[in-house]
């Protein structure tokens, strides 16, 4: 089974609001899947269900061979396998960049201090911030903070990484440096699911693009489907967004 | 000739100051320890524990400290447990402080953004690790000014220990006044001494608060969704 992520007929509602109305998709090892859609289309919720930040009402989710929908799931095991980067970075403000990165490998994976420091050096080089190890998050720009958040997630050596609108809080100039890092990760073979508004970027790096609308998957295809939408909704979305 | 305020009286008052400080420290240490437990219980995942902690807080906050003092000194002695005044006073202060400081600290813990819990959770940290490595260090920063501010209340409220015969500053003043009958002079002096104890604390609390406010940078505005495009003016 080369599916790292498998969603089958996933339903999720918040109160009376049906956010996901039967969502199914698969992510294979090494694949990059981009989920696009209007706000409120359920794309972020779908992403958050993958690492059980949201618990689904019905359907099936499997990640790295774990059944996420099972209430008895080993949550920490799941979180070791699945990295996530948020729109608002969510770095720990009381810790330096290096401490942000080494905290979880040491506390959750039992790495020694030396191992964790070595990991931090590697991932910081990967995101181009090797010189910022001793800085505090508030001393960094938004783009730098987001790259640290990516590095922090990478240090857990996840099987798959989730990106939840990671450039939405950034200026256009800063967006580029973050996208570059994600692109390099894609080239390096990392399995990724991106929820994004950067359609040009989605077209460029994603193997599969999923367009969600009103809690359903409306269209699926390669990046080129954005050039030739089959549905009026995607056409409208593309027209508004580009 | 004995009816004038002299150095012996001042010495007696200073001893009172000493006991006030000792009782305040007892109250802060005991109340802080118990209050930390109350704060943790208030945010616990166990509904029973949360409910018990809330009931405790409501009960203590709804009881005058004076009554707590009476209960632990006279009440317990009737039940056969007769405590020295300082222990009874320390016990009541501990209970009183724990309910208030527990609530202050709970508020500070809850003031740490939920997204910090979430980020820590996504890094596979256990709940205890999340709490102690991520949340509490940030809550501590938020908690320092109101905690120091509350210490002023502790110092002032130790004066109620005089009702169980504990000779702290207020009681010492009372005793001196009983022999001199110079209420204005004596109590002005007592008030002045309380002020000298409390003012540095208030000043420190305000300073900490300013520093905290200065250190807080405005949150980056999150742009949500493509629907509300930020350049669109029409």
pLDDT band per the 50, 70, 90 thresholds, residue B53:
very high
Q: Is A110 helix (H, G, I), strand (E, B) or coil?
A: coil
Residues of chain B whose beta carbon is less than 8 angstroms from a beta carbon of chain A are 115-116, 118-126, 129, 133-134, 137-138, 141, 217, 220-229
Q: Between residues B127 and B217, which one has the greater pLDDT?
A: B127
- pLDDT surpassing 70 at residue B94: yes
A96 neighbors A133 (Cβ within 8 angstroms) = yes
pLDDT at B86: 92
**In angstroms, what separates the C-alpha of A148 from chain B's closest C-alpha?**
13
In which element (H, E) is residue A20 found? strand A17-28
Write the residue in B116, B129, B224 that is nearest to A39 by C-beta: B224
Phi, psi torsion values for B98, nearest 5 degrees: -60, -40
Closest CA to B157 of B28, B24, B17, B32: B24
Cα separation, A196 vs A205, in Å, equals 12
- pLDDT surpassing 60 at residue B233: no
Query: HSE of B130 in the Cβ direction (CA atoms, 13 Å)?
Result: 18
The two three-digit tokens of residue A178, written as one number? 């973050």
pLDDT at B232: 33
Mean model confidence pLDDT for chain B: 89
Provide the β-strand partners of residue A3.
A28
Cα separation, A6 vs B229, in Å, equals 32
Residues of A within 8 A of B122 (CB-CB) are 51, 53, 79, 82-84, 153
Closest CA to A221 of A237, A233, A205, A206: A206
- pLDDT surpassing 70 at residue B2: no
User: pLDDT (tens digit, 9 = 90+) per residue, A143-167?
Assistant: 999 999 999 999 999 999 999 999 9
Q: Do B221 and A169 touch (CB under 8 A)?
A: yes
- pLDDT surpassing 90 at residue B117: yes
Domains of chain A, CATH where assigned: 3-241 (3.40.50.300)
List chain B domain ranges: 7-215
Average the pLDDT over each of A7-16, A103-112, A169-178 and give the range with the smallest value: A169-178
User: pLDDT (tens digit, 9 = 90+) per residue, A194-234?
Assistant: 999 888 889 989 999 999 999 999 999 998 888 888 999 99
CATH architecture of the domain formed by B7-215 = Orthogonal Bundle (1.10)
- Predicted ipTM of the assembly: 0.92
pLDDT band per the 50, 70, 90 thresholds, residue B215:
low
pLDDT band per the 50, 70, 90 thresholds, residue B191:
very high
**In angstroms, what separates the C-alpha of B225 from chain A's closest C-alpha?**
4
- Tell me, rounded to whole angstroms, the distance of Cα B105 from its chain centroid: 10
Cα separation, B10 vs B12, in Å, equals 5
């Amino acid at each position: 089974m080369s599916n790292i992520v498998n969603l089958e007929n996933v339903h999720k509602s918040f109160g009376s609001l049906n956010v996901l109305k039967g969502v199914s998709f698969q992510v294979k090892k090494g694949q990059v899947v981009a989920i696009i859609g209007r706000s409120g289309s359920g794309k972020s919720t779908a992403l958050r269900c993958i690492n059980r930040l949201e618990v689904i009402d019905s359907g099936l989710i499997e990640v790295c061979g774990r059944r996420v929908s099972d209430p008895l799931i080993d949550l920490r095991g799941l979180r070791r396998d699945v990295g996530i980067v948020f729109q608002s970075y969510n770095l720990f403000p009381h810790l330096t960049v290096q401490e942000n990165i080494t905290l979880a490998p040491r506390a959750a994976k039992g790495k020694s201090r030396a191992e964790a420091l070595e990991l931090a050096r590697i991932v910081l080089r990967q995101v181009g911030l090797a010189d910022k190890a001793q800085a505090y998050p508030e001393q960094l720009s938004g783009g730098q903070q987001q790259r640290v958040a990516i590095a922090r997630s990478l240090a857990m050596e996840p099987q798959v990484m989730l990106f939840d609108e990671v450039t939405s809080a950034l200026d256009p100039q800063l967006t580029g440096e973050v996208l570059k890092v994600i692109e390099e990760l894609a080239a390096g073979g990392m399995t990724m699911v991106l929820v994004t508004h950067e359609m040009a970027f989605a077209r460029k790096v994603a193997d599969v693009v999923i367009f969600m609308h009103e809690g359903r998957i409306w269209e699926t295809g390669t990046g080129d489907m954005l050039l030739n939408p089959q549905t009026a909704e995607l056409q409208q979305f593309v027209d508004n967004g580009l | 000739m004995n009816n004038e305020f002299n150095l012996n009286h001042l010495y007696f008052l200073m001893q009172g100051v000493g006991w006030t400080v000792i009782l305040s420290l007892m109250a802060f240490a005991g109340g802080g320890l118990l209050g930390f437990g109350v704060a943790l219980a208030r945010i616990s995942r166990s509904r029973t524990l949360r409910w018990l902690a809330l009931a405790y807080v409501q009960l203590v906050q709804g009881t005058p400290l004076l009554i707590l003092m009476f209960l632990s000194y006279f009440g317990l002695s009737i039940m056969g447990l007769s405590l020295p005044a300082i222990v009874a006073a320390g016990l009541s202060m501990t209970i009183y402080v724990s309910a208030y400081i527990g609530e202050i600290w709970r508020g500070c813990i809850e003031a740490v953004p939920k997204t910090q819990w979430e980020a820590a959770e996504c890094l596979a940290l256990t709940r205890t690790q999340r709490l102690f490595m991520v949340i509490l260090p940030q809550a501590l920063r938020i908690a320092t000014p109101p905690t120091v501010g509350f210490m002023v209340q502790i110092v002032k409220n130790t004066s109620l220990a005089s009702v169980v015969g504990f000779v702290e500053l207020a009681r010492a003043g009372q005793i001196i006044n009983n022999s001199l009958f110079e209420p204005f002079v004596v109590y002005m002096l007592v008030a002045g001494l309380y002020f000298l104890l409390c003012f540095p604390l208030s000043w420190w609390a305000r300073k900490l608060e300013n520093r905290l406010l200065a250190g807080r940078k405005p949150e980056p505005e999150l742009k949500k969704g493509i629907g509300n495009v930020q350049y669109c003016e029409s």
